[in-house]
Structure 1
Amino acid sequence: MKIRLNSVVLGTVLASAALTGCNLYRVDVQQGNVIKESQVQQLKPGMSREEVRNLLGTPALADPFHAKRWDYAYSFKPSYGSRQQKHLSVFFDDEGRLTRTEGDLKPQTP
């Protein structure tokens, strides 16, 4: 009786482990600044660095050798699917005013 009970318990544990392995939970991974198109539409030439930072947040990349350029990078890897990447660069003049943007998201021109 002991041998039969142990084999039943062992079989139940193994079956449970096998079924659990089939349903692995995968986490969505996002990195960087999440920038919405509505935020980009609010960018206007002449905005100060402070206004841009308040609107978009602190840039992911601020290169000390290129102080007139801020880069906002965003990467999203859904649990099942391919990685999505977006990039936005904003450029300032010598007075710290926004002059232009480049990247995946662009403000609409009137």
Structure 2
Amino acid sequence: MFLIIRWAGRTGLIAAFGALAACSSLQSSDSFLGVITPYRIEVVQGNVVTREMAAAVRPGMSRTQVRDILGSPLLTDIFHADRWDYMFTIRRQGAEPQRRRVTAYFDGEQLARVEADELPSEQEFVDSIDTFKRRGDPPKLALTEEQLKALPPPAPRPAEEAPRAAPARTYPPLEPSGG
């Protein structure tokens, strides 16, 4: 009897380890059996800083002007009061993860310089996170001359009627009249 319980305990322990190993391998893959793809949360952290935004920032600008263009920095450090760090990361299902860093250095209240990773333009950034890419040419919204000629002529408009008189009032006016 003791041997049976001991054997069942070992079998259960092996089954539990096998299940744990299977769970960890499922979490690391993008799909289950190549069919089911789990939902992944879109994680966006920090400020998007594009090439156009970085080009608008010039040395000599005040901290307020820099904040107006780039937004509030993700990191300000009391030990480095002359430095603002802008970090940006995004993980979106169906798109490559992105990570960028921009650092603004100040001399007092004036911007001294900006250091940045390679920044995309606004359109390049939008294209990189667009997971609903359209295929083929966009549909044409204009008719050709032949298609315009093939359309039926517009229906004639009814003759415009004379303006109607206002309906007679059945209630007293809101404001007293004259005197």
The TM-score, its normalising length taken from structure 1, stands at: 0.69
Considering only CA atoms, is the larger Rg found in Structure 1 or Structure 2?
A: 2
- The aligned amino acid for 1:101 is V
Q: Residue 107 of structure 2 aligns with which residue? A: 93
What's the offset of the Cα at 1:36?
Answer: 1.5
Mapped to 2, the partners of 1:99 and 1:52 lie a distance apart of 11
Q: Residue 103 of structure 1 aligns with which residue? A: 116
Give 4+ residue runs of structure 1 displaced > 4 Å after superposition.
Answer: none
Q: Residue 76 of structure 2 aligns with which residue? A: 62
How many aligned positions are there? 86
> CA offsets, 1:38-85, max 9 Å, x none?
111101110000000011111000001100000000001121454211
- Per mean C-alpha deviation after superposition, the further-off stretch among 21-30 and 77-86 is 21-30
- The aligned amino acid for 1:73 is M
Q: Residue 87 of structure 2 aligns with which residue? A: 73
Q: Runs of 5+ in structure 1 lacking a partner? A: 1-17
Q: Residue 33 of structure 1 aligns with which residue? A: 47
The TM-score, its normalising length taken from structure 2, stands at: 0.44
Shift of the 105–49 alpha-carbon distance from structure 1 to 2, 3 Å rule, reads farther
CA contact (8 A) 1:72 1:87 kept: yes
Tell me: higher relative CO, structure 1 or 2? Use CA pairs within 8 A at least 6 residues apart. Answer: 1
Mapped to 2, the partners of 1:34 and 1:72 lie a distance apart of 8
Q: Runs of 5+ in structure 2 lacking a partner? A: 1-31, 120-179
CA contact (8 A) 1:40 1:105 kept: no
**RMSD value, Cα:** 2.1
Richer in strand (by share): 1
Q: Residue 13 of structure 1 aligns with which residue? A: none
Equivalent pairs: percent with the same residue? 38
Mapped to 2, the partners of 1:25 and 1:79 lie a distance apart of 8
